[in-house]
Amino acid sequence: MSKNIPLNERIIFALDVSSHEEAMALVEKLDGEIKFFKVGLQLFLAGWFQTIDAIIARGNKVMVDLKFFDIPETVKLAVDQLKNRGVTFATVHGNDPILRAAIQDKNGLKILAVTVLTSFSEDDMREMGMTGSIRDLVLLRSRKALELGCDGVVSSPLEAQPLRDELGENFLIVTPGIRPGANIENEDDDQVRIATAKEAIINGADHVVIGRPIRDSSDPIALIKELQRDIAAGLATKG
């Protein structure tokens, strides 16, 4: 798998807003620096394909993060709705039959398997009666997803290094839970398995997903450039 990823596509900006108009205002403000945007459940329900199409029409890439989880035939049909629209990534969350259905007829769309949400902690594992570690669960789910033919996985930056060590380089790792260094310890953060962009890249991530820190910054362009410098430094460290 080719990994010649431009710096302006390394950050996937999470458009976690409630309207098409808000989303496009952010895209127009940021796409001189960032060329990859994530559309999740909130925005998709507000703007449907109008927003996705408008982002792509401006020459940008889109990750549709709907975490498809349903019976296999329904997931296959959902992926069918995306595959000819210019979408780059779609996320799927489920067992083997669900993942197998998602990849049946991708037609250039890259399918990313969601492993364990970044809001999930070891305490949550215990409460659900699971005795293993999050790391082990992420590795198990990732190995299976790649064997089935998924193009990559979504994991926290903390699992990127063991994923690379165990499974190699020939797949994509997309990591949410990215925070600028000054905000890495935030008590109000709903994501618990977090890291800086530089740490994530050194650990093996290909793309980092960042939303609120950029959106809420007093100077988002300056922050993006700082993050991109960190990513470039991480890539240089990897050699």
How many helices (H) and strands (E) are present in the chain, helices listed first? 10, 8
| 6 in Cβ contact with 35 (< 8 Å) | yes
Q: Among candidates 6, 3, 4, which has minimal Cα distance to 228?
A: 6
Alpha carbon distance 179, 226 (integer Å): 12
- What single letter denotes the amino acid at residue 22? E
Alpha carbon distance 198, 180 (integer Å): 9
Among the options 67, 83, 106, 144, which is catalytic?
Answer: 67
Distances (CA, A) of 90 to 19, 64, 175, 227, 228: 20, 5, 14, 24, 24
Tokens for 51?
Answer: 């927003």
109-115-121-123 Cα dihedral, nearest 10 degrees: 150
177-145-60-230 Cα dihedral, nearest 10 degrees: 40
Residue 67 a catalytic site member = yes
Active-site positions read: 67
